[in-house]
Amino acid sequence: MGRTTRLALLLAIILAVPLLGGCGGKSETVKVRVGEVTRSVFYAPEYVALSLGLFKQEGLDVELQTIPGGDKTMTALLSGAIDVALVGSETSIYVYQQGSDDPVINFAQLTQRDGTFLFARKDHPNFNWSELKNSTFLGQRKGGMPQMAGAFTLKNKGIDTASDLKLIQNIEFANIASAFASGTGDYVQLFEPQASIFEREGRGKVIASFGVESGYLPYTVFMSKKSYIGKNSDTVQKFTNALQKAQLWVKKHSPGEIADAVSPYFENTDRDIVISAIKRYKDQDTYAQTPVIDDKEWNNLLDVMDNAGELKERVPAGKIVNNTFAEKAQSAAVSGK
């Protein structure tokens, strides 16, 4: 064998080694860039999937970033800055209503109720919604799901927001709690853990749940552009598999155990506060136990948006919801695969 032939054979062997190793070893990890609309215990199953390594078990490297505001999160998704968005499903409807050539598709539900609570400056042991009349109500930003779920509830309780109370909804989401703390409003619509924090500080009490009153709906959903899903269906399936495992884990474990699992994402929040917030959400069945978005929930969402005047047309779920991945993940979880 000549020198040239030996060198060629050696080079071929060297090049073949990584290929052979790849055939028998683990496949490469796939990076998925996820943007969440806010950091909240409301999204506990997401953090469980991360902290317990459930995404990694599926071969995914999930890079999480918080992008405050549904509009900003959706802009990041549409521009390609992120692959998957965790945001209110109403944002996908807004994109669809604009006639996008590459619509945003909802593929896995995380929360199934609104996450806000009615917080009053004093306790109301026998609270009746009529007590809000002639008061100042500090609500959420117009067009967002918290505001729409709140308006839907108030209407169902016989409250006319135009004439029965003074409604304030021009304060940025991040500043609502501080505005109430400084004296603005008699009532405020708050997420956890802020509600639990205010209770501990003696600023008032949670007296009702907008989540319970507005019913089940696909409140916060993982979504992506149709083009991304088409090119990365295997990745989307693995992502949804991990989420389903996290949802079932949350279902089976106590608020304390869940708090310990998500603690890396809430290092500056007292453990007792995190436990209180998670318990409140678990008790009212806020965390979806399956990623599947059913038609009844979707239609309730459309009712909520229609009541708020934000719906140009009733968008059928089949247009921007793909339950294929969720149903497969649910089936695999049930069969123990």
Indicate the pTM of the whole model: 0.88
Structurally, how many domains does the chain consist of?
Answer: 2
Are the CB atoms for 290 and 72 separated by under 8 Å? Answer: no
Let me know the angle formed at the C-alpha of 243 by 237 and 246, rounded to the nearest 5 degrees.
145
Q: Domain boundary residue among 214, 237, 266?
A: 214
Q: Domain boundary residue among 214, 239, 267?
A: 214
Q: Domain boundary residue among 214, 239, 272?
A: 214
Domain membership flag for residue 168 = yes
Domain membership flag for residue 6 = no
Domain membership flag for residue 14 = no
Examine the domain organization and report whether 208 and 67 are in the same domain.
Answer: no
Q: Residue 27 has what pLDDT?
A: 60
Examine the domain organization and report whether 70 and 48 are in the same domain.
Answer: yes
Per-residue pLDDT tens digits for 93-118: 999 999 989 999 999 999 999 999 99
* CATH code of residue 196: 3.40.190.10
- Helix/strand/coil for 305: helix
Biggest alpha carbon–alpha carbon distance for the chain: 98
Examine the domain organization and report whether 206 and 59 are in the same domain.
Answer: no
The residue among 258, 246, 322, 252 whose CA lies nearest residue 290 is 246
What domain range is 293 assigned to? 30-113+217-336
Per-residue pLDDT tens digits for 196-233: 999 999 999 999 999 999 999 999 999 999 999 999 99
Domain membership flag for residue 16 = no
Examine the domain organization and report whether 40 and 162 are in the same domain.
Answer: no
Length reported for the chain: 337
Decide the pairing of beta strands 205-209 and 60-66. unpaired
Domain membership flag for residue 8 = no
Domain membership flag for residue 226 = yes
Per-residue pLDDT tens digits for 267-306: 999 999 999 999 999 999 999 999 999 999 999 999 999 9
Buried b (16+ CB within 10 A) or exposed e, 51-81: ebebbeebebebebeebebbbebbebbeeee
For the packed helices 271-283 and 255-262, what is the interaxial angle rounded to 10 degrees?
120
